Structure formats: C-alpha cells, structure tokens
Amino acid sequence: MSHRLSIALTLALAVGPIASAAAQPASDAEDLDSAALDPGSLDTGSLDTPQPRKLEIYGFTDFTLRRLFMPNDSAWQARLNKESSFAVGKLNLYLRSQPAPRFTSLAEVRFLYGPHSVLEQVSPGVFEHVDNTINDYSDIGATITWGGISIERAWLQYDAHRLLSVRAGHWLTPYGLWNIDHGSPTVIGVRRPFILLINMFPESQTGVQLLGATQVGSHRLSYHLTVANNAGPSSNVYDHHDSKLLGGRLQLEVDGPAQLQLGVSGYAGRETKKRLQISASDPTDINTTEATHQTLSDADVQGAAADVRLRWKRLGLDAEFISRRIKYRDPYRPQAMLRPGGFVPNGVSWGGYLLASYRQGPWGMMPYGSIEHLRDKFSQIKVTALTGGVNFRPAPTVVLKLGYSSARVSAFGATPTYPLHTLRTLEAQVAWVFR
C-alpha cells in the first residue's frame, strides 16, 4: 500500500464520521473526563447510604489505523510493524459490585489477540509471527485463533471510615494521571506517553492498600499507602523475599476559578528474577532430590513521580515527571545486551512530558500537542518526541482521534540496545465506552 493511500485511509477513518456527528453535537460541558471508567479511588458512599448489590458490567474498546515511517531496513521492525494496519487494541471489561454494606469489588480484564501474531525470535536474528490457529473441535473442518486474557485488577475494598479504606487484591499502582483511569476514551491522544509504557513504576501490584480522603475547605486531599509483592516476572502471584515493596501517593485537588490537581508518588523495594533447578543424586530415589533456587538478577529499586493537571476554562495542561533508580546486588547483575562480557550498569532512568489541549466546543473538538523526553539507563538511549493531533467527541462516550508524532531516538551510553533514528507515526482511532 502506498504512503499516499495509507495517509488517505488514516484521514478518512478519523474525519469521516464527523459530518454525521454534527447532527448530534456533544454538550459544551462534556469533556474528556466524562468518559472516565474508573469507579474512583475512594468509594466511601457506603458509609452513609446503602449501596446497591447489583453487578455492573461495562468497559471500553478502541479501533486504530496506524502507519509508521522508518527506514525499510530498520531493526525496529522486530518490535513495530511499519505498514499501515488496522487493529482493535484494547477490549477491557469491568465487573463491579457492592457485595455487602461498606464493601466494594472491582475486576477488570483485557481480552487480547496475542500471543497470536506477535513477533517471536525463533533463532538468532530471525523473527516470525506467532500463529495460534487451531482446529475448532466444536465445528468440524473449521479453525479458530485463540488469544489471551490479561487480569488488569481484581480487588475488594472495605470502607472503614471516611479517612480510611482498605483495598486487598490485585490493583493498579496509584501514580500519575493515566495509570488508574487508563481507558482509551479518557486518554488524550491515541496512546499514553512513552514514560508510562516502560515500567519505571509497576503498572499493577498484588497486595494491600490503605487509602482515604478529606475535604480541606473547598479542596480535597487524598492518600494511598501500599504494601505489595516485590517486583519481578512473577510478582502477581509470588515474592522471592519476605520484605515487601512499599509505596504511596499524596494528591491535592484545588477547586477555584481553575481546577488544579497536584500529586506525588513513590515506591521502594527489590526486583528479583530466579529460577528453580531440581536434581537428584540417585534418579531412582525420590528422597535424594534437591531443589535449588538460582538467582539470575537481584536489585534494589526506587521510583519517584510528580504530576500536575490544570483545567481552566477550555484550556487543559497535563505534566508528569518519573524517575527510577536501580542498584544491582553483586554478584546478581545480569549481562548486558550487545556487550559480550559486560553487565547492566546501575543508574537512574527518568522522563517527563508536557501535554496541552484546548476544547473548542463544536462536536467536542479538542486540538492537542505534547513534548516528551525519556532517558533509559538500561537500554542507554534517549527519546525526544513531539506529538500533535485533534480529538472529536460526537457523544460523551465516543471519541474520534487523529494524531501524528515524531520520535528521535539517540544514544547517551556506549552501547545502545535499540536502533538510532527517527520514528514517525500517523494514527487514527475511534474509542468508545460500553455500558
């Protein structure tokens, strides 16, 4: 498909429905927050009013056309598809209920086409798309492609007091602006900022959370304190240490001529990767079997973040800064990619972004622009990205998006582990909420 046809398709997907949207324009009072899917970090209403016990089912999804512009021989193609492609990206389902007075339960699952179609390295330097096509045992002669399910969160919360609720289970880490309320219809732009996608903060954790809020005049002050499994590939269900990952967040919402939200977050703990080896001195005698845990990597990790959100009349400003420090415990330092005999260095990765938007009114039109910068110590690259686009909201629960971004990848270390050049992306998306 030619570049011109790719661009034409992208523009048609984003702009085509706008004419019909004019017949039913969104109210001027409706903005991006109207499609927020998260039930709220605090659910203390049950302290005063009996909560309904019915099960609520709702969710969101998005459909995107993306075209990446990069050199034909770019090694980024091992992770990114450059040809124009349609895709359903997110299909998230929420299940929420109040099983008893003062108790709230929330589960969120994402349905995936993957691992089908994902590029997988089958031999050094050779990648193939995973094919999960199988025979359909219920329909003779037919085939079916199976995907996967990601459990985003599953928790139960008890509201003990207006200043104290206890949440237990698997929950999204309370930090920043877009991690908890991450629905595509809510996020400004086709994607979230880069710094939220590389796990400088754990996206989710399994453990216990204390949270609460209080009114200070017309302002609102809220907090989160978290205790969870330490970081690692199996942190959703296992912890390799008796110590735990500790974290927290403090947030102030200022109400006035402008709405201002300020937040700070942090965490500290361990990040460990292990494997189990079982051996027997006598293979015929089970009593000679020994299990040994081998530590592949072990490090102390800390993260800190700050975020600001401003809404004044039609203007919106969003900004975040995130940093992550890692210090490996010798001799459990992993080997570095592309550096034979070398090891991953200690250090600090950091990044931030500034996003400006302006809601103009007709059909909920909102032009936006952002600048992002990331310095990743692990891969020894830095990324600077400029993004611009426009959103249309013909209805409170439907958003049409068109965006263009240019990301320059360069090195700040001796041996970067990603190709160094500029990636340009043209995207169109429709995202919607279903209830």
Q: What is the CATH number of the domain that holds 133?
A: 2.40.160.10
Within the chain, which residues score under 50 in pLDDT?
1, 5-34, 40-50
Residue 108 CB neighbour total at 10 angstroms: 24
Instruction: Annotate 144-165 with b (16+ C-beta within 10 A) or e (fewer).
Output: eeeeeeeebbbbebebeeeeeb
Residue 236 CB neighbour total at 10 angstroms: 13
d(CA 186, CA 287): 58
Residues 10-61 have pLDDT tens digits of 444 444 444 444 334 343 333 334 455 665 443 433 344 445 568 999 999 9
Report how many domains make up the chain. 1
Residues of the domain holding 236:
3-434
d(CA 187, CA 253): 19
d(CA 334, CA 326): 12
Angle at 403 between CA 128 and CA 13, to 5 degrees: 80
pLDDT value at residue 12? 46
pLDDT value at residue 339? 60
Residues 166-179 have pLDDT tens digits of 999 999 999 999 99
Grouping H, G, I as helix, E, B as strand and the rest as coil, residue 288 is helix
pLDDT value at residue 76? 74
Element (H, E) at 15: helix 3-15
CB 171 within 8 A of CB 165: no
CB 325 within 8 A of CB 288: no
pLDDT value at residue 2? 52
Peptide bond just before 334 cis, omega within 30 deg: no
pLDDT value at residue 51? 52
Residue 198 CB neighbour total at 10 angstroms: 16
pLDDT value at residue 413? 63
pLDDT value at residue 54? 85
pLDDT value at residue 424? 93
pLDDT value at residue 388? 97
Residue 130 CB neighbour total at 10 angstroms: 12
